[in-house]
Amino acid sequence: MRFAAYEHQHRHRVAVVEDDGTLLPLPGVTSLTALLAETGGLPGLLAAGAAALDVPPGPHVSGVRLLPPLRPASIRDFVTFEEHVEGVRRSVDGAAGVPGQWYAAPTFYFTNPHAVYGPHDDVPVPPGSAAFDFELEVAAVIGREGRDLTPERARDHIAGYTVLNDWSARDLQSAEMRVGLGPCKGKDTATTLGPYLVTADELEPYRDEEGFLRLALTAEVNGEIVGEDLLSHMSWTFEEMTAYASRGTRVVPGDVLGSGTCGNGGCLAELWGRRGEQIPPPLRPGDTVTLTVEGLGTLSSTVVPGADPVPLPAGRRRERKRP
């Protein structure tokens, strides 16, 4: 099943999306995150969706504003594509190759769950950035709580998948990560999710013998293809990522786990690193980024001007008086 969150006639609703784009609203449901928590994961979500098949149809998807399919409880963004690491490390850090430690575990960072945009929303340039970039990813959505999971058990905790665009201010990211923390303002202005939450069972036909989902990924800027890859080029499966995320802590309904950016042009910075120059150029207001994932759908976002940065002083060198 495919689930959408949408706004229509000033009301927020959640619906099952039929093949022809007709929306079947779930009675009384306004939050997919809450529904996941209440129904206990994928089986409950499918049962709620099946009940919606008996209600009168709602509007067509073309006649509503699609919202992010859920409001995440948290967003962990992994980095699981070796080719992406090679290219972006050269572009952002000026270093070659892949760090040996990268192979030890599926590394992630937490990004901002309060800056999530819908699949067709305009996205502003982060304040002060002149090197704005997109990142084509797929995200798993956790459906029920778990802790210290094995990869085998983790599969039952994944409710579904959606497309994720991890918007990135590369100049801000490069500067702030020299401190040894981050990324922070290089990443937290916007994350786009959508267009739908596609339940995990729908993607089983794409699973290969190693457990990876073989989905075609395409990135376009202003109608020109700049990147193409396969999701199965990940170095860890979503079940392995979920197990790692749950190590020593909890994953809960509504948690989002991004795959990390695909290779072969899944973002501009990878291409900059390989080519030694900013070609294609950084995103500017008026540019439209279109990301398509087989079986999941398409995000299409237009970049718009952002706010000017609010000035702050440089850090003070303080005289260190001790009591």
As a three-state string, the secondary structure of 94-137 is CCCCCCHHHHHCCCEEEECCCCEECCCCCEECCCCCCCEECCEE
Contact 90, 275 (CB under 8 A): no
Distance from C-alpha of 264 to C-alpha of 217, rounded to nearest angstrom: 10
Q: What is the pLDDT of residue 139?
A: 98
- Residues 51-94: tens digit of each pLDDT: 999 989 999 999 999 999 999 999 999 999 999 999 888 877 77
State the Cα–Cα distance between residues 84 and 101, nearest whole angstrom. Answer: 15
Count of all residues that appear for the chain in the document: 323
Euclidean distance between CA atoms 292 and 67, whole angstroms: 17
- Locate 1 and state its tokens: 């099943």
Q: Which helix (H) or strand (E) holds 154?
A: helix 151-154
Q: Is 167 helix (H, G, I), strand (E, B) or coil?
A: coil
Single-letter amino acid code for the residue at 263: G
Q: What is the pLDDT of residue 180?
A: 85
Domain ranges of the chain: 2-67, 74-304
Tokens of 8: 């229509």
Of 113, 88, 114, nearest in space to 99 by CA: 88
**Confidence at residue 181, expressed as pLDDT on a 0 to 100 scale:** 85
DSSP state string for 24-38: EEPTT---HHHHHHH
Give the count of beta carbons closer than 10 Å to the beta carbon of residue 17. Answer: 24
Q: What is the pLDDT of residue 132?
A: 98
Q: Domain 74-304 adopts which CATH fold?
A: Fumarylacetoacetate hydrolase; domain 2 (3.90.850)
Per-residue pLDDT reduced to its tens digit, 106-135 = 999 999 999 999 999 999 999 999 999 999
For the chain, give the mean pLDDT.
Answer: 96
List the chain residues with pLDDT less than 50.
Answer: none
Q: How far is CA 36 from the centre of its chain?
A: 18
Distance from chain centroid for Cα 297: 13
pLDDT in the model for residue 322: 86
